[in-house]
């Protein structure tokens, strides 16, 4: 059974998992499926061993809750088949009370753990979460190891330009040290790939975890708990104790993505942890020693933020013992051909297609685009193009890169990042113009009514987000409240439209300077 420390490993990754419930009792399946939904899992149901195998093949569940006493193909036979075909999926066996020999047999046969009937609901949920989290971490380590095992791993993932070759040498130079590293670059340039390469090439990488925290995706009220953990009952909703990211990264590396979005109040607490190597869970009077290496990343100009007093200078210097900068894709277009071929190969495999490449006109379009979303945008556009490509010769044309073609021919007012240029002032208020539709029609793009409506919808939504961030000086939480959406929704939309909230923080402080 799990020990207390394992039970505390509960992270958001497990919440989205699919759990296969295998039980011949309809009542048991109904109870457990409701329990799974309440805990945030997606339940899959099977009434027999045969149904379970079919579900595993079709649905690829993240974990299985398997009753021992099934008619026909019993639980042990299902476990044996599962362990033979997929050793990575954790299986939790459900045994009858008092049948210790079943539990022992299950663990010896490859089960991750077991629960006995009658069980407590919280025990089942915590066992599943712990199992899924552990497996996710192992999968991450395997994925990173496969990617970065070679000394030229970044060249295999990011390109072979002189710029990437230089970054690869920097990673090799600093990875074996215990320096804190700051990775800078625009969104989509590959900052997390750099952090993974640093971790796996370090002395910690072979056996210890890399724990990533997106500081821009977690609301101000939850970031302290995510980083440092909390005790049961520490605040409303803290039903169980939880390890924070620093505890989970003990012995390994913690990756703090978008560190520029960390609230000022949290910056001081983070600095103390970096200096003392001790964490203090919320609701606890004890400090825990932790051993970690920190890699941080940002798409913001932290030194400018230090000058504007929005980022602590002492924290910056603690994080930036060594700095690696990744230039945007538009400044290293010699990597374009490599990345297109790499993403094409991956997407063909993903979609089981045989698209051979780009026509000369499509390649000209790709080369001429400025790629504000960098490699991430390139991969997204290429995946879509491969999906819709049905050319007999297997070559993608500009038609398959529809969004790039439209962007190349759209009026400048529809491609701006400045909200004031997208809106007209009527009666002292900024309102969305339909002049964008006029410009689209006059530009000869040839959109249908439906396509035109979609384009205008995108323009309107993007511009509303830009205007709201301008009003809130880049405060995403306040912007979400103004728009009556949750924090995760606004964060997702900002990523979709490739909008950075930090530019509005800078603008706000620039205006303050003008007034002074």
Assigned token pair, 242: 């939880």
144 Cα distance to chain centroid: 15
pLDDT surpasses 50 at 444: no
The residue among 159, 144, 132, 164 whose CA lies nearest residue 255 is 144
Closest CA to 217 of 480, 398, 28: 480
Residue located via tokens 């970054």? 167
Q: Using CA atoms, how far apart are residues 79 and 107, in angstroms rounded to an integer?
A: 10
Residue 515: the pLDDT is 42
Whether residue 426 has pLDDT greater than 50: no
What tokens were used for 91?
Answer: 């299986």
Q: Measured between alpha carbons, how far is 482 from 491 in angstroms, rounded to an integer? A: 14
What is the spatial distance between Cα 66 and Cα 22, in angstroms, rounded to a whole number? 5
Asked if pLDDT for residue 84 goes beyond 90, the answer is no
Per DSSP, the three-state class of 253 is: strand
The two beta strands, 424-426 and 429-431, are: antiparallel
Contact 91, 82 (CB under 8 A): yes
Residue 180: the pLDDT is: 97
152 — pLDDT class (breaks 50, 70, 90):
low
Per residue in 463-496, pLDDT (tens digit) is 888 888 888 888 888 888 888 887 878 887 887 7
Query: Residue 449: pLDDT band by 50, 70, 90 thresholds?
Result: low
Predicted TM-score (pTM) of the model is: 0.57
Predicted confidence at residue 38, as pLDDT, reads 86
Distances (CA, A) of 202 to 149, 157, 175, 195, 273: 11, 18, 5, 11, 21
The answer to which of 304-318, 412-426, 435-449, 502-516 has the lowest mean pLDDT is 412-426
Average pLDDT over residues 492-512: 67
pLDDT grade for 124, boundaries at 50, 70 and 90: confident
pLDDT of residue 119: 81
Q: What is the mean pLDDT of the chain?
A: 81
Q: What pLDDT does residue 424 have?
A: 40
What's the rounded Cα separation, in Å, for the pair 463 and 457?
Answer: 10
Q: What does DSSP say about strands 357-358 and 18-22: parallel, antiparallel, or unpaired? A: unpaired
The confidence score (pLDDT) of residue 276 equals: 95
Burial class (CB in 10 A: 0-12, 13-18, 19+), 91: buried
CA distance linking residue 207 with residue 234, whole number of Å: 32
Residue with tokens 């796996």: 200
Helix (H, G, I), strand (E, B) or coil at 143: helix
Tokens of 245: 């990211």
Which tokens hold the place of 304?
A: 């400018």
Q: Give the model confidence (pLDDT) of 272-310 as tens digits.
A: 999 999 999 999 989 999 999 999 999 999 999 999 999
> Contact, 279 vs 287, CB < 8 A?
yes
Q: Is 101 helix (H, G, I), strand (E, B) or coil?
A: helix
pLDDT band at 386 (very low <50, low <70, confident <90, very high): very high
**What integer pLDDT is reported at residue 370 of this predicted model?**
86
Extract the tokens encoding 302.
Answer: 């932290």
- Closest alpha carbon to 91 in 125, 66, 56, 58: 66
Q: How many CA atoms lie within 13 A of 434 on its CB side?
A: 2
User: Which pLDDT belongs to residue 177?
Assistant: 95
Question: pLDDT tens for residues 246-281?
Answer: 999 999 999 999 999 999 999 999 999 999 999 999
Asked, as a colleague might, if the bond just before 118 is cis with ω within 30 of 0, I would say: yes
Compute the distance between CA of residue 30 and CA of residue 504 in angstroms, rounded to an integer. Answer: 50
Highest mean pLDDT: which range of 268-277, 358-367, 404-413, 421-430: 268-277
- The secondary element (H helix, E strand) that includes residue 257 is strand 253-257
Q: Is the pLDDT of residue 335 over 90?
A: yes
**What pLDDT score was predicted for residue 240?**
83
Token duo for residue 322:
């060594």
Contact between residue 130 and residue 9 where contact means Cβ atoms under 8 Å apart = yes
CA 46: distance to chain centroid? 31
**φ and ψ at residue 181, rounded to 5 degrees:** -125, 135
Burial class (CB in 10 A: 0-12, 13-18, 19+), 72: exposed
- pLDDT at position 5: 34
What was the pLDDT predicted at 483? 87
pLDDT for 86 beyond 50? yes
57 CB-near residues (< 8 Å, 6+ apart): none
pLDDT of residue 221: 79
pLDDT tops 60 at residue 356 = yes
Q: What is the DSSP letter of 188?
A: T
Confidence of residue 438 (pLDDT cuts 50, 70, 90): low
Which residue's entry shows tokens 């190597």?
277
Q: Could you tell me which residue, 2 or 54, shows the higher pLDDT? A: 54
- Report CA Rg, the chain: 26
Is the pLDDT at 98 greater than 50? The verdict is: yes
pLDDT bucket at 57, cuts 50 / 70 / 90 = confident
pLDDT the model gives residue 325:
96
| Residue 440 reports pLDDT greater than 70 | no
Q: What is the pLDDT of residue 425?
A: 38
Tens of pLDDT, residues 389-414:
988 889 999 888 876 765 554 444 44
SS3 371: coil
Calculate the CA dihedral of residues 452, 457, 459, 460 and round it to 10 degrees: 140
pLDDT above 90 covers a percentage of the chain that reads 35
Of the pLDDT bands very low, low, confident and very high (cuts 50, 70, 90), residue 142 is low
Return phi, psi of residue 22, to 5°. -115, 110
Helix (H) or strand (E) holding 81: helix 75-85
Query: Counting Cβ atoms within 10 Å, is residue 100 exposed (0-12), middle (13-18) or buried (19+)?
Result: exposed
């Amino acid at each position: 059974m799990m020990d207390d420390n394992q039970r505390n490993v509960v992270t958001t990754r497990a919440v989205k998992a699919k759990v296969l419930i295998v039980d011949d009792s309809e009542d048991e399946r109904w109870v457990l499926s409701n329990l799974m939904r309440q805990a945030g899992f997606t339940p899959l149901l099977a009434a027999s061993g045969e149904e379970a195998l079919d579900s595993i093949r079709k649905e690829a569940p993240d974990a299985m809750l398997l009753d021992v006493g099934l008619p026909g193909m019993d639980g042990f036979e299902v476990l044996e088949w599962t362990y033979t075909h997929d050793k990575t999926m954790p299986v939790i066996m459900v045994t009858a009370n008092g049948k210790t020999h079943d539990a022992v047999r299950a663990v010896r046969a490859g089960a991750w753990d077991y629960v006995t009937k009658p069980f407590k609901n919280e025990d089942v949920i915590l066992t599943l979460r712990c199992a899924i989290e552990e497996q996710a971490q192992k999968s991450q380590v395997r994925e990173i190891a496969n990617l970065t095992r070679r000394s030229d791993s970044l060249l295999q993932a990011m390109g072979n330009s002189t710029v990437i070759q230089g970054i690869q040498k920097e990673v090799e130079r600093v990875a074996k040290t215990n320096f804190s590293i700051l990775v800078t670059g625009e969104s989509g340039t590959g900052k997390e790939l750099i952090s993974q390469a640093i971790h796996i090439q370090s002395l910690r990488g072979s056996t210890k975890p890399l724990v990533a925290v997106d500081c821009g995706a977690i609301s101000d009220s939850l970031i302290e708990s995510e980083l440092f953990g909390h005790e049961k009952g520490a605040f409303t909703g803290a039903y169980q104790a939880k390890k924070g990211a620093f505890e989970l990264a003990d012995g390994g590396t913690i990756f703090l993505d978008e560190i520029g979005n960390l609230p000022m109040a949290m910056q001081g607490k983070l600095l103390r942890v970096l200096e003392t190597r001790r964490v203090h869970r919320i609701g606890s009077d004890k400090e825990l020693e932790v051993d970690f290496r920190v890699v941080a990343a940002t798409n913001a100009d932290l030194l400018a933020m230090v000058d504007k007093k929005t980022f602590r200078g002492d924290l910056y210097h603690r994080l930036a013992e060594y700095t690696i900068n990744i230039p945007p894709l538009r400044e290293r277009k010699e990597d374009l051909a490599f990345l297109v071929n790499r993403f094409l190969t991956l997407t063909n495999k993903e979609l089981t297609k045989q698209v051979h490449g780009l026509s000369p006109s499509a390649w000209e379009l790709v080369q001429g685009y400025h790629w504000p979303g960098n490699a991430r945008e390139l991969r997204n556009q290429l995946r879509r193009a491969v999906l819709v490509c049905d050319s007999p010769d297997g070559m993608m044309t500009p038609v398959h890169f529809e969004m790039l073609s439209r962007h190349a021919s759209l009026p400048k007012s529809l491609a701006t990042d400045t909200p004031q240029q997208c809106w007209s002032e009527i009666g002292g208020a900024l309102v969305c113009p339909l002049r964008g539709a006029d410009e689209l029609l006059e530009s000869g793009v040839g959109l249908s009514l439906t396509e035109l409506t979609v384009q205008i919808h995108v323009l309107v939504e993007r511009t509303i987000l830009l205007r709201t961030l301008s009003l809130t000086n880049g405060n995403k939480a306040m912007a979400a409240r103004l728009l009556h959406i949750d924090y995760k929704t606004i964060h997702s939309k900002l990523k979709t439209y490739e909008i950075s909230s930090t530019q509005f923080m800078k603008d706000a402080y620039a205006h303050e300077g003008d007034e002074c």
